[in-house]
């Protein structure tokens, strides 16, 4: 029985940590924790850097709650420097993906105050502005746009991906393909 539990724990760990796009990832993570408690094994904690990478992979794989859980646990740790800015940015990205629009705005603005006009802070403010667009808060969009524009030194650096329109934004002036 011990060998089967050890093998099951290995498989759950593999699915949870390495297959971040798996639809079974969250269930595997919960089973991994239950089995680790049952067998009195400790799950090796990730470093801050590895946790940030894992959270990004979960976010990219659609496992938003797992990503937010990792980011929340990191928020309780003492994180500083570039890792602190990365953590703040990933929290904003995760909140944006979870459609927690008011929290997205609050955390993006807190990030801009704490870290100043960095590229990541400007990108976070841009996500906050888009969340206001979703809510129809047009005055908030203008206020956030002014904050982004005030960051003159990073305006040219903001990556194209964060400013690109996606499929939910339509271009009204486009001609139909049959024309």
Predicted confidence band of residue 59 (pLDDT cuts 50, 70, 90): confident
Q: Look up residue 57 and give its two tokens.
A: 């992979």
Mean pLDDT of 53-63: 86
C-beta atoms surrounding 62 within 10 Å: 14
pTM metric for this prediction = 0.69
Predicted confidence band of residue 172 (pLDDT cuts 50, 70, 90): very low
Give the whole-angstrom CA distance, residue 116 versus residue 139. 22
Encode pLDDT of 92-101 as tens digits.
999 999 899 9
Q: Look up residue 51 and give its two tokens.
A: 């946790």
CB 128 within 8 Å of CB 105: yes
pLDDT for the residue 171? 44
Predicted confidence band of residue 178 (pLDDT cuts 50, 70, 90): low
Q: Where are the alpha helices (DSSP H) in the chain?
A: 2-18, 25-38, 48-60, 64-75, 82-97, 101-115, 119-135, 138-150, 160-163
The end-to-end CA distance of the chain, in Å, is 68
Mean pLDDT of the chain: 81
Encode pLDDT of 146-161 as tens digits.
999 988 665 454 455 5
CB 146 within 8 Å of CB 110: no
């Amino acid at each position: 029985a011990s060998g089967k539990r050890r093998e099951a724990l290995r498989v759950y760990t593999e699915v949870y940590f390495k297959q971040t796009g798996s639809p079974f990832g969250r269930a595997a993570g919960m089973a991994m924790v239950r089995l680790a408690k049952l067998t009195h094994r400790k799950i090796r904690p990730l470093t801050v850097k590895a946790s940030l990478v894992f959270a990004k992979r979960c976010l990219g794989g659609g496992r938003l709650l797992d990503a937010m859980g990792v980011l929340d646990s990191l928020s309780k740790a003492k994180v500083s420097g570039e890792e602190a800015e990365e953590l703040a940015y990933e929290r904003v990205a995760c909140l944006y993906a979870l459609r927690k629009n008011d929290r997205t705005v609050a955390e993006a603005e807190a990030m801009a105050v704490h870290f100043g006009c960095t590229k990541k802070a400007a990108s976070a403010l841009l996500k906050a502005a888009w969340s206001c667009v979703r809510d129809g808060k047009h005055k908030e969009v203008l206020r956030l746009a002014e904050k982004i524009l005030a960051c003159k030194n990073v305006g040219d650096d903001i990556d194209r991906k964060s400013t690109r329109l996606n499929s939910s934004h339509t271009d009204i002036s486009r001609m139909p393909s049959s024309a």
